[in-house]
Amino acid sequence: MHKLLKALQQAHPSIQFTSGSKFLWSPETQEVFYASTGHNERDIWSLLHETGHALLEHTSYTTDVELLKLEAAAWAKAHGLGASLGIKIDENHVQDCLDSYRDWLHARALCPTCTTRCLQQDNGQQYRCHNCHTTWKVTPSRFCRPYRSVNSTAQSVAIFAASA
């Protein structure tokens, strides 16, 4: 991991690499945080993925589908970074990671009244069912699991966040 960090720092001096408790890209501070506890293949792949976000200058998203696109793009960039450093990223791992976002998106998109899969509205925090016309709001956090609470009189639903 140390060798990889050194190579990434030399190749991309505008990116700050900081030891932390987990892997993530912070567009606010222009830092890639990496978990300093482990040094297995998955950690290496995660570091490349977060560096991919940094190099692609990912800053924000407004819809769930847009977040999934950003994640797929960061993995594609990570593949290229890895190849240039002689590191092969396991495609099954990538798909497992993307599946976690797909599962998250699916859970948020199910109508709590009729279980029809719906599309997010333009504002990014509300869904509306095209089948039964129920509306519900979702938390903007990608780290929260949705819990739905239906207001039966108004046919509206609120999504409450709980740490996953």
Give the model confidence (pLDDT) of 66-89 as tens digits.
899 999 999 999 999 999 999 999
Contacts for 36 with CB less than 8 Å, ≥ 6 apart? 19, 20
Q: What is the C-alpha to C-alpha distance for residues 101 and 79, in angstroms, rounded to an integer?
A: 19
Q: What is the C-alpha to C-alpha distance for residues 70 and 60, in angstroms, rounded to an integer?
A: 9
> Do the Cβ atoms of 111 and 130 come closer than 8 Å?
no
> Do the Cβ atoms of 98 and 71 come closer than 8 Å?
yes
- What does the angle CA 122 – CA 124 – CA 129 come to, to the nearest 5 degrees? 70
Q: What is the C-alpha to C-alpha distance for residues 62 and 33, in angstroms, rounded to an integer?
A: 23
Share of the chain above pLDDT 70, in %: 82
E runs forming strands in 75-141: 126-128, 135-137
Above 50 in pLDDT, residue 24? yes
| CA atoms within 13 Å, Cβ hemisphere of 56 | 22
Taking the domains of the chain in order of start, what are their residue ranges? 2-106, 114-163
pLDDT at 150: 43
Which pTM value belongs to this model? 0.80
Q: Which residue has the tokens 């407004």?
A: 62
What's the CATH fold of domain 2-106?
A: Arc Repressor Mutant, subunit A (1.10.10)
pLDDT tens-digit map of 113-135: 999 999 888 766 789 899 999 99
